Amino acid sequence: MKKLLFVASVIALSIFSFITFARPASAATTNLILNPSFETSTNGQPANWSQGGWGTNTSAFSYSSSTAHTGSMSATVNVSNYVSGDAKWYADPVSITPSAAYTYSDYYISNVATRVVAAFTDASNVTSYVELPAVAASSSWALYSTDFVAPSTAKSVVIYHLLDKNGSLTIDDVSLSLTVAPTPPPVTSNLVPNPSLETSSNGAMPNGWQHDKWGTNTSTFAYIKTDGHSGTRSAKVTISKYVSGDAKWYFTPITNISDGKQYAFSVWYKTNTQPRTVVMYTDASGNDQYMTIARPLPAANSSTTWTNFSTTFYLPQGATSATVFMLISSNGWLQVDDYSIIAQAPVGYSRPIVSLTFDDGLASTYNNGLPILKQYGFVSTQYLVSGLLNTSGYMTTAMAAAFKTQGSELGSHTVTHPILTTLSSTKLTQELSNSQSTLRSLFGTDVAIDFATPSGEYNQTVLNSIKKYYQSHRSVDVGYNSKDDFDPYNIRVQNIQLSTTPAEVSSWVAQAIKDKTWLVIVYHGVDNGGDAYSVTPTNFATEMSALQSTGVSVQTISQALAEIKAQL
C-alpha cells in the first residue's frame, strides 16, 4: 500500500461535513460492502478483503472464528515495534455517486484509539484521502458510525479502519450505504418579518431591520440591492480597525414566540471571517439577556458563495421577545439574507439524561463539590487543565484521582487553557495531544477521551484537530442535545454563573425531562469566593438535592454518549 497522503486529507477536511454517532446501518439503504461480516472465505482469507500497511512496524493479520460480532468470523490486525505507518484490513473499492451522502459503520474491539480514513479515486485514477472522525478504544464490541459526502469528482472509495500504534484492532459487520435523508419537519410559518430583506419603505433600510455595533472598531453597514441569496437584496456589515466589540444586522425583536420552546434558526450568508450567532431575548423583568448558540463554520468559498447555516435554540422560561444576531467581532465583513425562525418540537431520546461537568480542575471542586456529589450518588466529568495540576488553587493528582475512584470521568481541557482559535497549528496540536498524553500517564489510558474547549472558543480548524484525539467536544454554546440536532463535536450546555439560581437549574432539568433530551451543565469552582463562574456550596447542594428528587439519570459525558449513539 502507498503511504496515505495525510497532508491532502487535512486540506480536504474543510470540504466535507461529518456527523459521528450517525444513525445505525439499519436506517440506511443497501450495504455496498461485499462480504461485510467476513463469513465467506477463499483459500483461508475473507473474500473481497485485503490487508495492507506501510511504514516501520511489525504487523500481524488474523482471520479468526475466536470472536465475532455476528456470525462466526472477524478480522484482526496487531501492531508491535511501532515506529511509523499503519496497518489495516480493507474491503474492495466501492463505486459511488459524486457529491452523494454516505453512511459508513463497523463494529470493532480495540485496546487503543484507532483512525478511519476514506480514500477517494477519481476518473483519472488520482486518489485523495480524507480523515474521518477518530475511534476511541473499546474492550467490547462497539459501534462506529459516521456520515460523509463524496467529492464531486469521486468514482470509488475504500474505507480504511486502521491501526497506527502498538495495539490490536478487530472489526466485523462493516457497512457502507447511501445515507437516508431524515424526514423533513412539516413546514410552518417563518416568524421573521421581511426575512429576505426585499421590502423597504424608504429604500435605505429594510423594513423591520436594524443594525448596531459596540466596542472599539470602525463599522460600516450597507443595504445591498443587487446581490441576494433570493431576490436581489441583502445586508452587509464591514469592520476595520478592530480592537473590541462587535457589529451586526438584526431583525426587530419578535413577540409571537413562546418561552420554553425549541426553534429552528436558519440564515444564508457570505463572509471572509468567523461569524457568531447570539439570541437576544427580553426576560420577564424586561431585561435584555444574551445567549450564545452554535456558530457557523464557513467553508473556503464562503466569501464568494452563499452558504446556509442552521441550528436550533430554546427560548428560556419567562422570555417575552427575541431576535438573533449573526455578528462579527473581528476585521472583515459579513453579508446575510433569508433569515428563518420556525417552531420545531425536539426529537427526544428514550429517556432524559443529565451530565454534570466541571471545567479547569479547581481545588474547590474537590474540597466542596466532591462531598456533595458523593452525598447524592452522582458522577461527573472533570475537564482538567493538565499543566495546572498540583499548582495553587487547582487539584493535586491525588484529588483528581479521587474523582476517578468515585466513578467520575476525567476529560481534557488543554495544557495551559489558551484560546485555541489564536494558536498556530503546532501549538494547537501540543495543547490537544500533550494534555491527553499527560493525563493518561497520570491516571490511565481510559481517561481524556472527551474534550472541552477553554472559554468555548472554536472554529473549523480547531474542531478538525480535536477529532484526531477525542470522541467529543463540549462547547459552552447554550442549548439541549436532542436527536434532531445532535453533534458530538458541539455538545451544548447550560452555563452556571454566580447569579444562576437553583430554581433556574431546576427549570433546565424539567425541560430536559419534558422533552427527553440530554442536559449538560457546566460548573467551575464550588466556593464562596464570588467568582462570576462559581457556585456556592449551599446552592450546589440545593441543586443536587432537587436533581436527585426527579429521579433523572445522571451520567458522565462518555456514558451519555454511549447511550445516545445507539439511538441515532
CA dist., res. 378 & res. 356, Å (int):
9
CA dist., res. 325 & res. 165, Å (int):
46
Residues 431 and 367 in one domain: yes
Mean pLDDT, rounded, of the chain: 91
β-strand partners of 132: 116
Domain end marker among 343, 377, 412: 343
The pLDDT of residue 216? 98
Q: What are the backbone dihedrals phi and psi of residue 390, each rounded to the nearest 5 degrees, phi first?
A: 65, 20
In the predicted structure, residue 189 carries a pLDDT above the cut 70: yes
What does DSSP assign to residue 421? G
The pLDDT of residue 66? 80
Reported as a pLDDT band with limits 50, 70 and 90, residue 67 is confident
Residues 427 and 534 in one domain: yes
Residues 116 and 246 in one domain: no
- Domain membership of residue 84 (yes or no) is yes
Q: Are 137 and 110 in contact (CB under 8 A)?
A: yes
CA dist., res. 47 & res. 40, Å (int):
6
Q: Which domain holds residue 271?
A: 209-343
In the predicted structure, residue 19 carries a pLDDT above the cut 60: no
Residues 371 and 317 in one domain: no
Residues 546 and 432 in one domain: yes
Distances (CA, A) of 126 to 122, 144, 156, 171, 314: 6, 28, 11, 28, 46
Residues 269 and 381 in one domain: no
Question: Hey, what's the cell of 400?
Answer: 483528581
Residues 165 and 59 in one domain: yes
Write down the pTM of the prediction.
0.68
What is the number of structural domains in the chain? Answer: 3
CA dist., res. 328 & res. 274, Å (int):
7
In the predicted structure, residue 303 carries a pLDDT above the cut 80: yes
Q: Are 36 and 68 in contact (CB under 8 A)?
A: no
CA dist., res. 421 & res. 568, Å (int):
30
Residues 338 and 365 in one domain: no
- Domain membership of residue 451 (yes or no) is yes
Q: How many C-beta neighbours within 10 Å does residue 132 have?
A: 23
Angle between helices 502-515 and 537-550 (to 10 degrees): 20
The pLDDT of residue 11? 31
Q: Are 373 and 542 in contact (CB under 8 A)?
A: no
- 70-108 pLDDT, tens digit per residue, is 999 999 999 999 999 999 999 999 999 998 989 999 999
Domain end marker among 178, 196, 229: 178
Dump the DSSP string for 479-492.
Answer: S-B-GGG--TTSEE
Domain end marker among 322, 343, 364: 343
Residues 532 and 399 in one domain: yes
Look at strands 114-122 and 154-163 and give their pairing.
antiparallel
- Domain membership of residue 70 (yes or no) is yes
Distances (CA, A) of 521 to 137, 261, 488: 26, 19, 15
Three-class secondary structure of residue 560 per DSSP: helix
The pLDDT of residue 119? 94
Residues 537 and 456 in one domain: yes
Q: What's the CATH code of the domain at 20?
A: 2.60.120.260
Residues 359 and 493 in one domain: yes
- Domain membership of residue 204 (yes or no) is no
